[in-house]
Amino acid sequence: MNSVSRTIYSSYLQTCSLMKLAFQMQLNTTLNELFNVESGIAPSEIPSLGYFAIGNGGHRMTVGANNIPKVEPVQHSGIDAALYSHLPFVLREIANDIGPVERAKYAMRRQETHNSAQYIAYYLKRLPLQNVIADMEYIQVANGVKTATLFQPNSSNLNPQPPALNSTGVNIVSGDYAAASAKLKVILTADEVAEILNAATVIYGDPSYAIISEIALCSGVDKAVQSPAFGNQVITFNDAICVQVLSFISSFFALQFNNTGSELDLDLGSSEPVLSLV
pLDDT tens digits, 24-51: 999 999 999 999 999 999 999 999 999 9
The residue among 222, 238, 266, 263 whose CA lies nearest residue 50 is 222
What pLDDT score was predicted for residue 97?
97
- Nearest residue to 254 via CA among 196, 202, 203: 196
Q: What is the mean pLDDT of the segment spanning 99-111?
A: 97
Question: Are the C-beta atoms of residues 53 and 31 closer than 8 Å to each other?
Answer: yes
Mean pLDDT lowest for which of 34-43, 115-124, 166-175, 189-198? 166-175
Q: What percent of the chain has pLDDT over 90?
A: 73
Return d(Cα 276, Cα 278) in angstroms, integer.
7
Does pLDDT of 273 surpass 80?
Answer: no
The string of pLDDT tens digits covering residues 230-242 is: 988 999 999 999 9
| pLDDT average, residue stretch 241-247 | 97
Residue 89 scores a pLDDT above 60: yes
Which residues, including other chains, have CB under 8 Å from residue 9's CB and lie 6 or more apart? 29, 81, 219, 244, 245, 246
Region 261-265: mean pLDDT is 87
Average pLDDT on 7-18 reads: 95
Mean pLDDT score of the chain: 91
- Asked if pLDDT for residue 229 goes beyond 80, the answer is yes
**Distance from C-alpha of 45 to C-alpha of 24, rounded to nearest angstrom:** 11
> What pLDDT is stored for residue 268 in this prediction?
82
pLDDT score for 277: 46
> Which of 76-85, 89-98, 126-135, 168-177 has the lowest average pLDDT?
168-177
Confidence class of residue 1 from pLDDT cuts 50, 70 and 90? very low
- Look at residue 278 in the predicted model and tell me its pLDDT: 44
What pTM was computed for the model? 0.91
pLDDT at 221: 98
Q: Which pLDDT band, with edges at 50, 70 and 90, does 266 fall under?
A: confident
Among the ranges given (42-51, 171-180, 256-265), the one the predictor scored with the smallest mean pLDDT: 171-180
Return the number of other C-beta atoms located less than 10 Å from residue 210's C-beta: 26
What pLDDT is stored for residue 272 in this prediction? Answer: 65
